[in-house]
Structure 1
Amino acid sequence: MPIAVPAGVTVEIAENNKVTVKGPKGTLERVLPSEMDIKLENGEVVVTRPNDLKKMKSLHGLTRTLIANMVTGVTEGYAKTLEINGVGYRAQKQGKKLVLSLGYSHPVEMEDPEGLESVVEDNKITVKGIDKEKVGQYAAEIRGKRAPEPYKGKGIKYADEVIRRKVGKTGKK
């Protein structure tokens, strides 16, 4: 399936399948599997595979999706939203630092990685960036500081995540 390249986006394919995508939000580059044949044809990127071996089929889909994600990244960007639940659990921004109070004896400080930005409003943290992989990774690292627990649902969870709740212990009579 060809990837349409929107207006204002340039895609360059160098040797060794080094693909550079430039767009209004920034530039992404990535070296893709060398077995795949990547071509730019009248405003569309076409990925073809040399043969139908299982490995080639799986690399084909991966390569296409990675390029499509880069194109989406430089045009729209990616965002992941996390929610903080729990009494006294808070987040705030100090410059490029994200400071989380998560019930530990110390505040947890996290530096925004290059090219990413985190925004805090009420109990929500939004991680924004153009690289889908980095956005997901940073969001996962924030969540990992205090993953949600199943009894009271306290912790940091993704906005679209559902926490399976459990019933607590019941005392003997």
Structure 2
Amino acid sequence: MSRIGYKTIVIPEDVTVTRDEDVITVKGPKGELSETFSPDVAMNVNGNEINFEPTGKYDNKMRALHGTQRANLANMIEGVEKGFNKTLKLVGVGYRTQLKGSDLILNVGYSNPVDVKVPEDIDVKVPDNTTIEIAGINKQHVGDFAAKVREIRSPEPYKGKGIRYENEHITLREGKTGK
């Protein structure tokens, strides 16, 4: 039984959820999101509450689909109401970043700067030259873009240099001791 799938979603007052066959659209103060949902899981709306119930045989595939669809809709509602944020830190001597138009330029120890194109639905801010703030209404897009930027120079385990999430802890290893 999916514990997440049976949880009730409460719709905030400033958010509207509409369903047109398999497409669910969520509108809120930050924007609008649409996604196609499987017809195998029934969505029941009672006032400002939404519940999901499986319609077919409750096997492993249905169990996973049930919880996933409920979580996706909850994330859509949270995104159009509050939005999602990720903060990245550049750690290393000479590591810096800047934003030029819709390009994020990273100087992270390579011979040439790395240019990353910022997607249209993502807002990127660079408050100082070692901090990147990524924001958007789609949780998956924000997380994917943050992971893409982090992958350019992921933290190494000996000195801890690289691009890391704001509260990420890197366990440092001991280097060679020599004789």
How many Å separate the matches in 1 of 2:65 and 2:42?
A: 11
Provide the residue aligned with 2:30 in structure 1. Answer: 25
Provide the residue aligned with 1:39 in structure 2. Answer: 44
Provide the residue aligned with 1:73 in structure 2. Answer: 79
- 1:37 aligned partner, one-letter code: A
Q: Note the alpha carbon deviations across 1:13-70, whole angstroms, 9 max, x for none.
A: 111x211101000000111222111132211222111243222122111111100000
Structure 2 counterpart of 1:52, from 58, 68, 77: 58
Q: Note the alpha carbon deviations across 1:95-130, whole angstroms, 9 max, x for none.
A: 221111011111111111011011112321111000
User: 1:13·1:39 contact (CA, 8 Å) conserved in 2?
Assistant: no
TM-score, normalised on structure 1? 0.95
Q: Note the alpha carbon deviations across 1:121-146, whole angstroms, 9 max, x for none.
A: 23211110000000000000000110
* Structure 1 vs Structure 2 CA RMSD: 1.1
TM-score, normalised on structure 2? 0.92
Provide the residue aligned with 2:11 in structure 1. Answer: 5
Name the % identity: 44
Provide the residue aligned with 2:4 in structure 1. Answer: none
**2:119 corresponds to 1:113:** yes
Structure 2 counterpart of 1:127, from 117, 134, 139: 134
- Structure 1 runs (4+) deviating above 3 angstroms are none
Greater shift, 141-150 or 6-15, is seen at 6-15
